[in-house]
A and B are shown apart, each in its own frame.
Chain A
C-alpha cells in the first residue's frame, strides 16, 4: 500500500508521520514526475488552499490527480484539502478538484483568534479531539454525501464514495484513528481493483 501526500505547501510532514506510525508507505507529491509510480491513496493536507490550488495547476498536477479521484482513488482531505475537493465555495471562488458534492465556507470561524479545539464524535470512530485552525466547514451537502461529524451544529466531516473530507486536523491530534479509517478504505479499494 503506497500513499501519496500532496506536498506543495502546508502541514504534509505531520500526515506522513501518522502513516509511518501505522506502517504505511508514503511519498511526497511535489511535481508531475512524482506521479509516475503507481499509488493507492491520496492525502490533501492542511495549509493555504489558494497556494495549493495555484501550484496544483501550474505544476500540472491538477488534472492527473482529478482523474485518479474520479476513478475512485481514496482521498483523505483535511482543512485546506477539503476546500480543494469541494464542488462549490460560498464566497464564489472557483473550485479546484470539484469532485466532492458539497458547499464549503472558507475561514468559517474567522481569523486566528477564532481557531479552537474540541472533542466530538466521529461516526464509526467515537469521540475524537479536533483541532480547527482558521478552519472551513461544510455548509450544504448533496445526495449521497454522508455526514461523519458535526460540531456546534456545523458539518465538519463528510464522506462521499472514497473521498473523506475533514474541516479539522487529525494529523495534529496525536490520534491515528482517522488515518487508520482511511487506510481501510485504501485496502478495500485495492481489493476491488
Chain B
C-alpha cells in the first residue's frame, strides 16, 4: 500500500510536466494564475522576495488561507513547510494539500534532519543543488525534485548552476562501469539502489523541475533546454508590472521552449520584470539551507 502511494505521488508529478507552478498569496492571485495557465499553484503567505526583504523567521502559511486558495481553483494546490518540520507537514496533510514543498525558502526547523517523507500519504517536492542532495531527498521519500536556485532574487544563475551540476553528475554515473557505482554511492552519500537507477536510466527516478530565480519567458526556456521538465515561478510573476500577461507568456514559453521566433513574440511588451538582486548582493543564501 505504501509503495503504491509513492507510485501515485510520482505519477501526479508526471502530470505536471511541461507546466508552470506559480507562487500565490491570495485566492485572487490563484485565480489569475489558473487563468494564465498555471498547472498548479504554491500557496504561501509571502513570496520569497518579500520573505527576503522582511527577514525574521518564515513559517508554514495559515491553513485557512491555504483552504481559501484550494476553494478558488481546480488545479492542484501545493504549500510549503519548513525543512525538518514534520508537524507542519502533518497539518498540511490534514487539510489535503496536493503536494508539500519542504522548502529552503522558509526558515529551517531542523539543521540536521529532513522530514521522513515515507511516513506521509501526501507527496513531497524538495529542492536540490546537486545529484547527491536530490537522491538523499528521494531516499527520504520525495516524489518530485526541483533545483534550489536562489529564491526571491530574479537571478537565474544559481538555478542554471544547479541544473548543470545535476546533469553533469548524472552523465558521469551513466558512463561508469558497474563496479564503480559502490564507490559513487559512498561519495554521493546516497543509497546504492538509487545510484544504480540513475546509471541505468540516465535520469532521476522522479520528475525534476527548475526553480529559484525564473523571471522571464527566456529564463523558463533556458531551464527547459537545460533539461528541466517544468518550471516553478515564485516572485517573478506577482513582483512584475503585469502579472497575468507575464504568467501567460511563461506558460507558453515552457511549451514552445525550442521555438525562438515564438519566444521573441512572447517576450514583447511584458511590462517591467521584477527588479531582482544578483547573487553578490544577497545576504541570506537560501540554497545553502538543508543538504
Binding site for B on A (CB under 8 A): 7-14, 30-31, 46-48, 50-51, 54-55, 58-59, 79-80, 91, 93, 106-107, 110-113, 115-117, 131, 133-134, 169, 172
Contact: B96 with A110, CB < 8 Å?
A: yes
Q: Does B7 contact A (CB under 8 A)?
A: yes
B11, B37, B74, B93: the one within 8 Å of A54 (CB):
B37
- Given known pairs A13-B17, A48-B19, the reply for A59 and B252 (CB within 8 Å) is yes
Binding site for A on B (CB under 8 A): 4, 7-9, 11-12, 14-19, 34-35, 37-40, 70, 74-76, 93, 96-99, 121-123, 248, 251-252, 254-256, 259, 262
Contacts of A54 in B (CB 8 A): 35, 37, 251
Taking CB as reference atom, which chain B residue is nearest A7?
Answer: B18
Contacts of B19 in A (CB 8 A): 9-10, 47-48, 51
Q: How many whole Å from B73's CB to the nearest CB in chain A?
A: 9
Taking CB as reference atom, which chain A residue is nearest B70?
Answer: A111
A13, A112, A117: the one within 8 Å of B76 (CB):
A112
B17, B70, B97: the one within 8 Å of A11 (CB):
B17
Contacts of A59 in B (CB 8 A): 252, 255-256
The main secondary structure of chain A at its interface with chain B is: loop
Q: How far, in whole Å, are A58 and B252 apart by their CA atoms in the complex?
A: 9
- Given known pairs A14-B14, A48-B39, the reply for A113 and B256 (CB within 8 Å) is no
Contact: A106 with B8, CB < 8 Å?
A: no
Contacts of B18 in A (CB 8 A): 7-10, 12, 47
Of residues B39, B40, B259, which shows the largest number of chain A Cβ atoms within 10 Å of its Cβ? B39
Taking CB as reference atom, which chain A residue is nearest B4?
Answer: A117
Q: How many whole Å from B153's CB to the nearest CB in chain A?
A: 27
- Given known pairs A31-B259, A55-B255, A116-B8, the reply for A10 and B98 (CB within 8 Å) is no
Contacts of B14 in A (CB 8 A): 11, 14, 46, 172
B4, B7, B76, B252: the one within 8 Å of A134 (CB):
B76
Contact: A50 with B75, CB < 8 Å?
A: yes
Contacts of A134 in B (CB 8 A): 12, 15, 76, 98
Contacts of B252 in A (CB 8 A): 55, 58-59
State the 8 A-B residue pairs at the shortest beta-carbon distance, nearest first. A112-B98, A9-B18, A48-B39, A115-B8, A11-B14, A111-B96, A54-B37, A9-B19
Contacts of B97 in A (CB 8 A): 111-112
